[in-house]
Amino acid sequence: MVAVADDRLDATFAALADPTRRAIVRHLARGDATVNELAAPFSMSLPGISKHLKVLERCGLISRSRHAQFRPCHLERAALDSAVDWIEEHRRIWNDRFDKLDAHLRDIQRGDRDPST
C-alpha cells in the first residue's frame, strides 16, 4: 500500500512541476471550470490544455464531471492534502535536525564539547 501512495505522491509532484499545470490548479482552487475557461489565459491549443488536464486527472488532482454539454473540471483537494502532509512531515524532521545542529554548534562555541569526541 505504501508503494501505491508513493507512486501517487510522485505523480502529484511531477504534475505540479509544470507551471501551466500549477496555474490550472490555482484556477480550480477558486472553483470548477470548463476546459475553455482554463485555456483562456494561455496561448496554447485546446488539445495542449487537454494534455495537461489528463496529467492532472491521472494523478488524482482533478476530476471531470458532466453537466449537460459541459464537462467542468474540479480540484480534488485530498490529493493536494497528501502532498502538503508529506511536505509538513519532512519540514518537521528537518527543523528538528537543524535545531539539534544549532544546539550542538552553540555547545561547541561555548566549549561544552562532549569529552568522548
Alpha-carbon distance of 63 to 45, in angstroms, equals 21
- Mean per-residue pLDDT, 9-13: 93
The pLDDT score that the predictor gives to residue 74 is: 95
Kindly report the pTM of this predicted structure: 0.76
C-alpha cell at 99: 535545531
* φ and ψ of 45, to 5 deg: -70, 160
* Least confident span in 6-20, 71-85, 88-102, 103-117: 103-117
**Cβ atoms of residues 46 and 35 within 8 Å:** yes
Counting every residue, how long is the chain?
Answer: 117
The pLDDT score that the predictor gives to residue 111 is: 82
Residue-wise pLDDT tens digits, 79-105 = 899 899 999 999 999 999 999 999 999
Strand partners, 33: 73
* 114 has pLDDT over 70: no
**Cβ atoms of residues 59 and 73 within 8 Å:** no
Half-sphere exposure (Cβ direction) of 50: Cα atoms closer than 13 Å: 4
- Mean per-residue pLDDT, 27-44: 94
Residue-wise pLDDT tens digits, 17-26 = 999 999 999 9
